[in-house]
Amino acid sequence: MSIFTGSGVAIVTPMKANGEIDYPAFEKLIEFQIAGGTDAIIVCGTTGEASTQSHEEHLETVKFCVDVVKKRVPVIAGTGSNCTETAVYLSKEAESYGVDAVLLVSPYYNKATQNGLYQHFKTTANAINIPVILYNVPSRTGCNILPETVVRLAKDCKNIVAIKEASGNISQIAHLAAISKGCIDIYSGNDDQIVPILSLGGKGVISVLANVAPKETHNICQYYFDGKVKESCDEQLRALDLCNALFCEVNPIPVKKALELMKMIPGGLRLPLTEMEPANTERLTKAMKEYGIL
């Protein structure tokens, strides 16, 4: 059984102007997501700025999310690292808090061979008893998890059950779908490719767009599952301009600005992320208005 089907939000971590995590704003955002029909919450991923959090903050944020959600939807914790020992530590702690699964990004900066990736993910997965979602995002990590490695991991590790595919390479994802023969669930990691990946047998999306449009992102998936392919495709295409605006600067700068414009969060970022450029803010505002969420 899949961890979730539909739209899982890669939720932002709200921060105050001084950089501290804003937990009241985070709780408000979680409730907005659940009320909007989001099917799962992915906490402390790329969009959640985990890379600039201390281990203590990271784990505190995960625990806070679990406590607020109270099992209403699955909570998936980003616990990946470029250090296998750290990934094991974060994953074991997150498991103890009651998360439903972990999301493990491929090692970044030091990267790895395909064998190194296999050993990294296998070691981390074997240290815990909850499901694991692999996260392939070569544009950030400089490291591509090949389909053959994914299938090997899924067959050798019973709790490696899914992958968030953010390579943007539809041909590679199609190859993975073909050779995996259903042994691993595939989630789109790109909001502009939800329908294409659903058409290859994907189970849904781990989404940035859902931060600002939870109902609409859920609907893209639900329409498809209900056999309303045209409606699903129409919603996907309607969201394209907004999706592009949400990535006109490095994620999560635009989505945090969007939530600030919606008066959902204060909008704080941690260096090296900086305030959005005025021209891009104008572009984002226009896209949000045209989409109907501002």
Catalytic residues: 135, 164
Q: How far apart are CA 175 and CA 129, in angstroms?
A: 29
Please answer whether residues 165 and 197 qualify as being in contact, where contact means their C-beta atoms are separated by less than 8 angstroms: yes
* 279: number of Cβ within 10 Å: 9
Q: How far apart are CA 70 and CA 93, in angstroms?
A: 18
Alpha-carbon distance of 292 to 294, in angstroms, equals 6
3-class secondary-structure state, position 65: helix
| Burial readout 19-55 (b: 16 or more C-beta within 10 A, e: otherwise) | eebbeebbbebbebbbebbbbbbbbbbbbbbbbebee
Task: Give the residue carrying structure tokens 């209403």.
Answer: 72
Counting every residue, how long is the chain?
Answer: 294
Nearest alpha-carbon partner for 262 in 207, 213, 206: 213
Left, alpha or beta for 181 (phi > 0: left; psi -120 to 50: alpha)? Answer: left
